[in-house]
Every structure is written in C-alpha cells, then in structure tokens.
Amino acid sequence: MRLVKLLANLGYGSRKEMQMAIRNGWVTDRDGNRLKADAKTAHEDIRFDDEPLDPDQGVVILMNKPLGYTCSTKDQGRLVYDLLPDRFRMRKPPLSTIGRLDKETSGALLFTDDGTFLHKVISPKSEVPKVYEVTLDRPLKGDEAALFASGEMMLESEDKPLKPAELEVLGDTSARLTLHEGRYHQVRRMFAATGNHVTELSRSRIGLLSVDGLEAGSWKILSEEDKALIFGV
C-alpha cells in the first residue's frame, strides 16, 4: 500500500494532507530519514512526527469505560470515541465497539476494525464469558444463584430462556455475575425479574481479559497474547 494511502487509512489526515506531510518531512523512518510517497518501509519502522504509527487494520483496543459515556454514535452527549485520539475516528475501516455498555455501566469495552474478530467475540458459539460487578438497591433473597444457573429463566417479552449464569454473592447487596451471552440490558433485567434493582454496574472481565490496572477512561492496544485471553487461551 502506498504510504499516502496507509497514513490516510490510519486517520492521520486526508490523502492531500498526507502528501503535504511527506513533502514537509514529517514522515520518516526510525533513523529519522525522510520518506517519499513511494517508500516501501515496514510499518513498524515508519514514524509520523517522530512517533510510531498506530497499528494497521486488525487493531483491538480495551477501554475501561467510565460512567456517563455512550457507545452509539447516534446518541447525544459524551461518546466513548471521545476518549480515543481524534484520528481513530477517521480510520478506514472504522473502529466499532464489540458489543455495548449503556451510559450508566462502566468497565471493560472492546473496539476493533476487524469484522471477523468482532463476530467471533459476539458469536453465541464462542460463549465468551463476561463478568459484572453488581450493586443492588435491596438485599439478595438467597435464591437468585439457583434461578440464574437453572437455564430456565425467562425475561419479560422474550420466548427463549437465558443460558445458565453464575452468581457469586459478595455481600447483602453486592454480587459478581458471569454471563455467557449478551442480551439487551441483561444484568439489569435479570435482577429486576427477582424484584430487585441494580444501582451500580461494572463489567470487570471479558473472558480472561481484565481491566485491572487500567484507570477509568484509559485504554490500551491489545497484543496477540491479550486477544487470546478473551477466548480463555
């Protein structure tokens, strides 16, 4: 791929702007040598304004989503994309979230521009476990774990029972819930069906990939080893 197209696809600017950047000497190799538009330099050896390039297509990002941000670009207000560099919005193919967290839910959120990887994560066949930390309005009754694990629980307006889910009681009004599917507002609806109300909700893990050590609003690009953790490898 020509250097101009590569830089434009990574969101650094339009092709015209990237042609100008190359002419101005802002694009170099790792040794500081100016590159030409037809340069065949390895991706990892290219520097833009003295910084390594963002990863090429196939990037996967983990964010510790803070409260108050939404995942849909159609929503008004603060978006999770606002927490990423502006150029990430201009990438081709575009970045998409892998699933969503609502405005009042925080925690682990994945982004990718790789459609195959996205579908692998969300596919029901993958059954990637997702772990949620839950705070409730009222004390647990004691029968929730058995109900959630039964594989027979039905949510209102649905005709298919939920897959078995594991509930770990942490306190009178706190619990850890592991799901193996992702239905609309599933955690909140499950507890609502038991007569309770979720007051705080955070997703702490996707597979074996955790947000531990990642501050709210921060993100990181995942290595191949990190990506394997999503599938428990």
Q: What secondary structure, in 3-state letters, does 2-41 show? A: CHHHHHHHCCCCCHHHHHHHHHCCCEEECCCCECCCCCCC
Q: Are 78 and 174 in contact (CB under 8 A)?
A: no
60-124+215-230 sits in which CATH class?
A: alpha beta
State the fold for domain 130-206.
Alpha-Beta Plaits (3.30.70)
Residue 106 pLDDT more than 90?
Answer: yes
In the chain the beta strands, taken as DSSP E runs, fall at 27-29, 46-48, 51-52, 60-65, 96-98, 105-112, 130-136, 166-171, 174-179, 198-206, 209-210, 219-221
User: Which segments of the chain belong to CATH 3.30.70.1560?
Assistant: 130-206
The predicted structure's pLDDT at residue 77 = 86
Query: What integer pLDDT is reported at residue 74 of this predicted model?
Result: 75
Please tell me the predicted confidence (pLDDT) of residue 99.
Answer: 92
What are the tens digits of pLDDT across the range 16-37?
A: 999 999 999 999 999 999 999 9
Query: Is pLDDT above 80 for 103?
Result: yes
Residue 124 near residue 181, CB atoms below 8 Å: yes
Tell me if residue 102 is catalytic: yes
| Residue pLDDT, tens place only, 210-223 | 999 999 999 999 99
**C-alpha to C-alpha distance for 156 and 160, rounded to whole angstroms:** 10
Residue 73 pLDDT > 80, yes or no?
no
Residue 82: its pLDDT value, please?
A: 95
Asked if the model's pLDDT at residue 233 lies above 80, the reply is no
Quote the pLDDT of residue 75: 73
Give the model's pLDDT for residue 232: 85
The pLDDT score that the predictor gives to residue 230 is 97
Which numeric CATH code is attached to 3-52?
Answer: 3.10.290.10
Ranges for all domains in the chain classified under CATH 3.30.70.580? 60-124+215-230
pLDDT score at 162: 96
Q: What is the pLDDT of residues 141-170, one digit of tens each?
A: 999 999 999 999 999 889 999 999 999 999
Cα(first)–Cα(last) distance of the chain, in Å? 33
For residue 1, what pLDDT is reported? 66
| Pair 5, 43: CB distance under 8 Å | no
CA–CA dist 233, 156 (Å, integer): 35
Choice among 45, 102, 172, 212 that is catalytic: 102
pLDDT tens-place string over residues 130-144: 999 999 999 999 999
What whole-number distance in Å separates Cα of residue 113 and Cα of residue 92? 8
Handedness of CA 134, 139, 142, 148 (dihedral sign): negative
Q: Is the pLDDT of residue 179 over 80?
A: yes
Beta bridge partners of 166: 178
Give CATH 3.10.290.10 domain extents, the chain.
3-52
- Say if residue 76's pLDDT is above 90: no
